Amino acid sequence: MNLIFNGPEDGPLFVFAHGAGAPLTSNFMEEVSVGLAKLGIRVARFNFNYMQQRVDTGSRRPPERVPHLTKQFLDVIQTLNQPMVIGGKSMGGRVATMLAAEQPTSLLVNIKGIACLGYPFHPQGKPEKLRIEHLINIKQPLTIIQGDRDKLGDKTEVEAYSLPASIKWLWLEDGDHDLKPRIRSGYTHEQHIQSSILYLATYIKCCLG
Exposed, middle or buried, 162 (CB in 10 Å: 0-12/13-18/19+)? exposed
Which helix (H) or strand (E) segment holds residue 44: the answer is strand 42-46
pLDDT at 150: 98
What is the distance between the alpha carbons of residues 20 and 61, in angstroms, rounded to a whole number? 10
Side chain identity at 112, as an amino acid letter? K
What is the distance between the alpha carbons of residues 201 and 97, in angstroms, rounded to a whole number? 19
Helices (H), the chain: 27-38, 49-57, 66-80, 91-102, 155-158, 189-208
What is the distance between the alpha carbons of residues 73 and 53, in angstroms, rounded to a whole number? 16
What SS3 class is residue 143?
A: strand
pLDDT at 1: 78
pLDDT along the chain (209 residues), means of 10: 95 98 97 98 98 94 95 98 98 98 95 98 97 97 98 98 97 98 98 98 97
pLDDT at 124: 95
What SS3 class is residue 107?
A: helix
pLDDT at 200: 98
Give, in words, the CATH class of 3-208. alpha beta
